[in-house]
Structures are given as C-alpha cells and as structure tokens.
Amino acid sequence: MLSQPPLWLVLVAFVCALGPLIFFHEMGHYLVARFFGIPSETFSIGFGRELIGWTDRRGTRWKVAWLPLGGFVKFVGDMSPVSNPAELESVAPELRDRVFQVRPVWQRFLVVLAGPAANFLLAIIIFAAFFATLGAPASNVVGKVKEHTAAAAAGIQKGDRIISVAGIETPTFTDLLNVVSVRPNEKVIVEVERSGSVHDIQVTLTSDQIKDSYGRTFSRGLFGIYPEARALKPLPVLTAIPTAVEYTWRWVRTMVDGLVQIVRGQVSPKQLGGPITIATVAGESISNGPLSFVSLVALLSINLGFINLLPVPVLDGGHLFFYAVEAIRRRPVSAKALDWAFRGGVAIILALMIFLTVNDLASLGLWDRLQRLIG
C-alpha cells in the first residue's frame, strides 16, 4: 500500500485541482451569456457563505464561497433551477427583454452547453501543450509479448499493430489499456494488422488484483503486451491540436465504456469515488510532480464536462434535454413538469452523492473499524 500524502497537501491539491475546473466551467457559461447580452447577477466558485468577493461595473457579484464542491453563474431573473419566466416581475423593466428566460431557445442551449465545452477545451489545451513539448502517447505497435498471457495464447506477435479491442479503436497503448482494464476475464475480438494484412483474433483476457492507495482490491483485465520502445518526439503545434482533440474524445469514449461495463457487472461500482477519493488522488498526483498533477487536472476536466452532459435534470445535460424538447415542440415544457423533473434530478444527485460518500468512507476503512467495534 502506498504511503499517504499529508492531509494539508491533500486539501491544497484538491482545491488547486477543482477550483480552476469549476472556474473554467462557469466562465464558459458566463462568456457566452455575455456575448448574447444576458446579464449575470452572481459568479460563484463554491457554495455557501461568501469568503471573498467583489462587484464589477456591470453589477455582477464575483465571489468565492467556503464549500469548494462546485459553482454557479446566476443570471438576472433566475429565481429557481427551472428558470420560470413568470418570476420576471422582480426584474428591473429595462432588463426584462435581456434576461436568460426570454432569450431564444438556441441561445439558452449554447449558454448551457458552453460550461461542459469549456472543460473539454481546457483538457485539449493541456494535452496539446504536452504533445507539442513532450511528445504524443506510445503507438499501438506491439514491442514485446509476455509469456503465459492472453496475448501469447492468442498468437499475438511482436510488430503487430492492435487496431481495436472489443470493437473499440486503440490508436495508442493508453487506449488499449483503458479498454482491456475494464474487461477482466472477457472474451474479446482483437483486430490486428500484421504484414499489411488485417486479422480478427479472439482473445480471452486474463485478470489480476490491484490495490489502491487505501488497500482496496479490484479486478483488472490483462492482455500481456508491451509497446515498442521509441523516443517521444514533440509534435508541431498544428498537429498537436487536432491530436489533442482526438485524444480528449477517446477519453470521453473510455468513460462511456466504463459506465457500460459497470451496468453489465464487469466492473464493480465500488471503484467509483467521490470528493474524498478525488482529493486523495490529487494529493498523490501533486506529490509525483507538476506534470502528473496537470495531467490529472486534464482528466478531471474531461470528467466534469462529461458528467455535466448527462441528461439528468439539475445538471447541464438536463437543461439541454428540455431545450431540445422545446425546440422540437416549438413551445417550452410546462413549469409544473419542469419542477417535478428537477425534483427528481435532485433526488438522483443526492442518492449518487450518498453512494459515493459511502464508497469513500469504505476506502478509509471506517466501516471495517465500526464492524470491529460492534463485533
């Protein structure tokens, strides 16, 4: 089991990782709203009581609150998550035609979409900087096949190029590891290019048990190959940017694949973590140096963008879903239906947070200690 970073470092790393991600996300909402002339009342990093803040000349209150688990932009006239236009009576008459609720549905859609898009953009910028200065991830050409492994049993050879696994493209070894790791002991079709010919090979993956920094044990799929050794070469900027876009997209695909594997029962939901796990991983990452920490920030940014696009009311994806319905029906969903939908969304988010917190506390060994005390 790895040694744990000190608590102060975990807290500092957590704030340094999550704070910029929240800022970028909310800044995406704010900038697109400002482009459309939609006035903003509050821009908050964190929830709860304000720690520091100021009001700009446009009347927007910028603040940092004490609970750094999220943030929000409150537009003028926004009185509830459903943005009911009937509540505009409290808005100054000169602003009523500019508030968010009365803007065309396509503008509201873009304002909401801009938050997750900003998170993906941040990840792309980080990856592009890495690719342009350090080089791109290792290719998908096999450099060595380990004996007595799934790859050796299937006849995989040195020099083979692994095009895809289980129907998912694997242009780099990072993609290959991501696909394989969530498929312990599964039979998969591996598409291999060898000597200019492409073959489909059935492979029965193996597995091993790995421990996280808290000693929790999880199953991980194994293939048994190593990439070919090659020196990393920085990419030209014009190449690094589209490569970073593709790389970010493949990480989104990996997250979708992981969720599917959880639903299928191939991956334990106990591997999901909440704020405590994120804080601990951030602490470990910052202990390993700035490159490791910035890489983690990029991955967390993709996670934040992806999660916010899920069609759950309260999240950005829920708003986008209802705006799409409004565009198709050419009239908004009723305030009553929105209210019930958002109540359900809050219940889902609360249930998920409780589940993740239970997982986090289990990772700290709390339930085992309680069981020993009771026993």
Coil, helix or strand for 104?
coil
DSSP letter for 11, please: H
Tokens of 272: 């999901």
Secondary structure tally for the chain: helices H, strands E: 10, 10
Coil, helix or strand for 147?
coil
Cβ atoms within 10 Å, residue 54: 8
Of 26, 186, 191, 284, catalytic: 26
As a whole number of angstroms, the distance between CA 306 and CA 310 comes to: 7
As a whole number of angstroms, the distance between CA 150 and CA 206 comes to: 6
Coil, helix or strand for 71?
strand
Contacts of 27 (CB under 8 A, 6+ apart): 118
Phi, psi at residue 9, to the nearest 5°? -70, -35
**Is 41 a known active-site residue?**
no
Residues assigned a catalytic role: 26
